[in-house]
Amino acid sequence: MTHGALLAATPSLLDSLGRGVLAIVAYTAVGLLLLVLGYVVVDVLTPGRLSSIIRSERNPNAAALAASGVFAVALVVVAAIFTSGGDLVQGLTETIVFGLVGILAQAGASLVFDRVIGMDLGEVMKDPKLSPATVLVAVTRVAIGLITMFAVI
């Protein structure tokens, strides 16, 4: 193949950059929506309104539970993006589906774990200091996120 034919067969730099920028924007938008949804699910599963407890009471237990839940969702979203195919529409679809299933799986697993170990998050949230129970639940949520992440991969 001649040098000219090779250049003609190669996508232009602008085309390549345009597709890359579009993919970044699209995956960022989908990822952000999934993170917000994941936060809402964590908020629903946790007694009290997390954002107001964090802002007004500056409660470290609420912050740790919210942060661990969002981080766990982020792990699943990253795995879904990582495993998505080269086609942007297919990749975005897979990211949305795997992200939603991951959020549901994490919610279910978190509820089961909290019940099995007998954690009363309502009581934990009343404590103004970081509780050992919060550390356990937060680490468990991240662990569930890792398990879900590798299930996607």
User: Do the beta carbons of residue 39 and residue 65 sit within 8 Å?
Assistant: no
Domain-embedded: residue 2:
no
CB 110 within 8 A of CB 45: yes
Q: Give helix then strand counts, H and E, for the chain.
A: 7, 0
Position 2 scores a pLDDT of 65
Does 77 reside within a domain? yes
- CA-based R_g, the chain, Å: 20
Which one, of 34, 29, 13, lies nearest residue 100 by Cα?
34
pLDDT for the residue numbered 14: 78
pLDDT at 13: 78
**Is residue 1 assigned to a domain?**
no
Residue 119 buriedness (CB in 10 A; 0-12 / 13-18 / 19+): middle
- What string of pLDDT tens digits covers the 153 residues of the chain? 566 555 555 668 778 787 889 999 999 999 999 999 999 998 998 888 898 999 999 999 999 999 999 999 899 889 988 887 778 898 899 889 988 988 898 889 888 888 888 888 888 888 999 999 999 989 999 999 999 899 888
Integer angstrom CA distances of residue 35 from 14, 103, 124, 125: 31, 9, 24, 22
With CA atoms as reference, report the closest residue to 61 among 3, 5, 9, 137: 137
Query: Is there a domain that residue 39 lies in?
Result: yes
> Could you tell me the two tokens for 53?
């407890």
Give the total number of structural domains in the chain. 1
In a domain, 4, yes or no: no
Domain that residue 84 falls in: 10-152
